[in-house]
Structure 1
Amino acid sequence: MRKVEVVVIGAGQAGLAAAFHLQRVGYVPDRDFVVLDHSPRPGGAWQFRWPTLTYGKVHGMHALPGMELADADPRRPSSEVIGGYFDSYERAFGLRVHRPVRVLAVRDGSGGRLLVETSEGGYAARALINATGTWDRPFWPRFPGQETFLGRQLHSSRYEGPEAFRGSRVVVVGGGTSAVQQLMEIAPVAAATTWVTRRPPVFREGPFGEEQGRAAVALVEQRVREGLPPRSVVSVTGLPMTEAIRRARESGVLERLPMFEQVTPGGVSWADGRDVEADTILYATGFRAAIDHLAPLRLREPGGGIRMGGTRALRDARVHLVGYGPSASTIGANRAGRAAVRDIRRLLDGTPETQTPESPESPESPESPQLAYEDGALASSLAS
């Protein structure tokens, strides 16, 4: 059991930002803190994005702290561009990410330490930064008759491009950005497409500025403060009305149907007797927070989420979640990593907490012009 001050779980945007700020305040990688990542290579969840999602289609990508992403070819797959950027970042700052390492469980240990059980052995840490994101927990909705379907069912996390759907009748389930992007790619090559969502989609027209950003972030943050699971981003921000989406709506590709009642061997059907034949059902139904390894700490509230104060889990001040809830965006992850390190340093140094994130004197206060800018940018990148 190796002793360290801090364990960072996850090397996506949030984890790397936290590691940068740990190093910046004097903690040394592989001596004072360790970064563990289960993925085979740098890039966080970006390395798994489908090849046709080029960097030019990515909106709201915010640079990691201390190093800009410059001169990226918009025609290259985002997985390659951002994966390469993260790789360069890790090397430039000597973050020494351990991979591939699976974190099996985090438990309460003796001497006030957290015991982090992993596939490469155990760590005894005084604090934990959890930056595991959501990619490992795709959400599969359940419908009567799913097991009888004779075609193919897959989650959008396994989408590899439109060619696999050529000549097929495809039902796309979900109202988020991924559903819309993948549906628009599939439609030109498929025999037929059908789009179904639980709620009518809301397309956002016009600019998405500071005021809208504040409101969106506040809605996401409120649920986290109450110990509820974070809501989907689109349910807060709506879908941005791009020119491509406008054309798809005009052509009928984005004509939405309400959610079907059941899956049949040959497709899907509704209570009113309508049915649609399908060869493939694509579930673009989002993800849930990948935090099962934290279960031994009993951080969840009765509502199913982890109640937070800033990035800190209120049930255990040693545990911080970054890239969770209101920080689930590229700029939000940067800001959360900085905030988590500030609080952890105060905790480990034994410095009493004199300010709260809500107080006007705090640099993270809603009264701060910098935060006002970041909130707008945060929500804008979420909405993209």
Structure 2
Amino acid sequence: MTQHTDVVVIGGGQAGLAAGYHLRRQSLDFVILDAQATPGGAWQHTWNSLRLFSPAAFSSLPGRLMPGQSGEEYPDAGHVVTYLRDYEKRYELPVRRPVRVVGVHDDGRLLHVETDSGTWQARAVISATGTWWRPFLPAVPGRGDFEGRQLHTVQYRRPQDFAGSRVIVVGGGNSGAQIAADLAHDTELIWVTQRPPRYLADNIDGRALFDAATARRRALDEGRTDTGGVASLGDIVAVPPVRAARDAGLLTAAPMFTRLDTHGVRWADGTRTDADAVIWCTGFRPALSHLAPLGLRGRRGHIATEGTRSVQDPRLHLLGYGDWTGPASATLIGVGRPAREAARQIAELLSR
């Protein structure tokens, strides 16, 4: 069965919902296709203790402030899931789920969005699938030899699953720090980072990060010196659990090991350490396989964009994948502005 609409939004997480909000304001006909069975996007699959980097009021999608969470300055993932579910309902956004997009094709006039439940023909497409579904694992020597547990951030849930074990957490970003702090009390933890951890000042949270990312994008667009953006401030936001573990001396990072072997890791000085599990907090890549039929991906898998708009095909917008598709666009507070611009540009394109 083939259905028709002005715009198909692929992905029903925070970026897809922000896109839907602004497409509605542009009076466009659209549908949001979400592969998940329930609302909440990737937030419903995170580890149990995950906290936002900002207070609720500074973690909101366009049009509706996130309410605070009782007893928590920084809301947890479950609170975000509830907010996204209510947001979707409040604005009566046309989300179809579970619908998995197989590929997007171009017939020269319309874009055909093929799914596991039929095809949609659209005049424009917004891809908002994020990165959670494409975890990155580094090619560390011996990774295939290790007989203990190996998992990525996306598979970690709670410290009780590792109680009494020797666990190596790899990664010096926010997920690495938060998961290391989560495990510091119940396991024999070794936290490994490529470089010494760089904590942001304790009074800095997601509000400052959003401002820094926006200032960097503005400077680059105006041809001024690169401000460095968020990276100039540090790598780790000291949310309360991380701050507490750090201040208790439980978050001492070791340099990266050189390889894994059957039962553990080997270090640069030739020594080795046994381990029961390795948790790779090593980031993500854009989940863009559904766009492969369009042949737009360049080096490193990115599609060239001006803002959110594909350089080669202005009918396609990419939203929520990081700074290359809008300053802080992978965050709740940051996705609103690029979503608004994408909807505006699409409305102008379709009115011609």
Partner of 2:260: 263
- Asked if residue 340 in structure 1 is aligned to residue 342 in structure 2, the reply is yes
Contact 2:171 2:194 in 1 (8 A): yes
> Does the C-alpha gap of structure 1 residues 236 and 206 become closer, same or farther in structure 2, counting only changes over 3 Å?
closer
Kindly report which structure 2 residues correspond to 1:195-234, keeping only aligned pairs within 5 A, or say none.
195-205=191-201, 208=204, 215-217=212-214
Partner of 2:170: 173
Kindly report which structure 2 residues correspond to 1:107-256, keeping only aligned pairs within 5 A, or say none.
107-110=105-108, 112-190=109-187, 192-205=188-201, 208=204, 215-217=212-214, 237-241=234-238, 244-256=241-253
Contact 1:216 1:237 in 2 (8 A): no
Q: 1:229-288 CA deviation, whole Å, 9 max, x = no partner?
A: xx9976874223456544433443221122111111111112321211110101111111
Structure whose residues are more often helix by fraction: 1
Moved more, 286-295 or 297-306: 297-306
Q: 1:317-373 CA deviation, whole Å, 9 max, x = no partner?
A: 0111111222111122111111100000000001xxxxxxxxxxxxxxxxxxxxxxx
Partner of 2:102: 104
Q: Secondary structure at the match of 2:254?
A: strand
- Asked if residue 92 in structure 1 is aligned to residue 90 in structure 2, the reply is yes
Q: Please state how far the C-alpha of 1:122 moved relative to its aligned partner.
A: 0.6
Contact 2:213 2:229 in 1 (8 A): no
Q: Secondary structure at the match of 1:6?
A: strand
Q: Secondary structure at the match of 1:148?
A: coil
> Does the C-alpha gap of structure 1 residues 121 and 92 become closer, same or farther in structure 2, counting only changes over 3 Å?
same
Q: 1:158-186 CA deviation, whole Å, 9 max, x = no partner?
A: 11111001000000001111111111111
- Asked if residue 41 in structure 1 is aligned to residue 38 in structure 2, the reply is yes
Take 1:259 and 1:235, find their aligned partners in 2: how far apart are those partners? 22
Q: 1:292-323 CA deviation, whole Å, 9 max, x = no partner?
A: 11111122223542221111011110111111
> Does the C-alpha gap of structure 1 residues 220 and 134 become closer, same or farther in structure 2, counting only changes over 3 Å?
farther
Partner of 1:372: none
Query: What amino acid is aligned across from residue 328 of structure 1 in structure 2?
Result: A
Partner of 1:25: 26
Take 1:183 and 1:234, find their aligned partners in 2: how far apart are those partners? 21
- Asked if residue 5 in structure 1 is aligned to residue 2 in structure 2, the reply is no
What's the TM-score, normalizing by structure 2? Answer: 0.87
Q: Please state how far the C-alpha of 1:137 moved relative to its aligned partner.
A: 0.5
Q: 1:122-173 CA deviation, whole Å, 9 max, x = no partner?
A: 1111101111111101111222222221211111111111100100000000
Q: Please state how far the C-alpha of 1:219 moved relative to its aligned partner.
A: 5.5
Partner of 1:53: 50
Contact 1:60 1:330 in 2 (8 A): no
Q: 1:194-233 CA deviation, whole Å, 9 max, x = no partner?
A: 1111222212226559997555446579999xxxxxx997
Take 1:5 and 1:236, find their aligned partners in 2: how far apart are those partners? 41
> Does the C-alpha gap of structure 1 residues 223 and 189 become closer, same or farther in structure 2, counting only changes over 3 Å?
farther
Q: Please state how far the C-alpha of 1:13 moved relative to its aligned partner.
A: 1.2
Q: Please state how far the C-alpha of 1:117 moved relative to its aligned partner.
A: 0.7
Instruction: Give 5+ residue unaligned stretches, structure 1.
Output: 225-230, 351-384
Take 2:220 and 2:279, find their aligned partners in 1: how far apart are those partners? 29
Take 2:345 and 2:266, find their aligned partners in 1: how far apart are those partners? 52
Take 2:240 and 2:249, find their aligned partners in 1: how far apart are those partners? 14
Moved more, 163-172 or 137-146: 137-146
Query: What amino acid is aligned across from residue 180 of structure 2 in structure 1?
Result: L
Q: Please state how far the C-alpha of 1:67 moved relative to its aligned partner.
A: 2.3
- Asked if residue 16 in structure 1 is aligned to residue 17 in structure 2, the reply is yes
Contact 1:289 1:324 in 2 (8 A): yes
Take 1:243 and 1:46, find their aligned partners in 2: how far apart are those partners? 20
Runs of 4+ in 1 over 6 A off after TM superposition: 209-212, 220-224
Count of aligned pairs between the two proteins: 336
Contact 2:30 2:94 in 1 (8 A): no
Kindly report which structure 2 residues correspond to 1:226-375, keeping only aligned pairs within 5 A, or say none.
237-241=234-238, 244-326=241-323, 327-350=329-352
Q: Secondary structure at the match of 2:246?
A: helix
Take 1:6 and 1:168, find their aligned partners in 2: how far apart are those partners? 50
What's the TM-score, normalizing by structure 1? Answer: 0.80
Partner of 1:65: 62
Q: Please state how far the C-alpha of 1:72 moved relative to its aligned partner.
A: 2.9
Q: Please state how far the C-alpha of 1:105 moved relative to its aligned partner.
A: 0.6
Take 2:141 and 2:219, find their aligned partners in 1: how far apart are those partners? 34
Q: Please state how far the C-alpha of 1:74 moved relative to its aligned partner.
A: 4.5
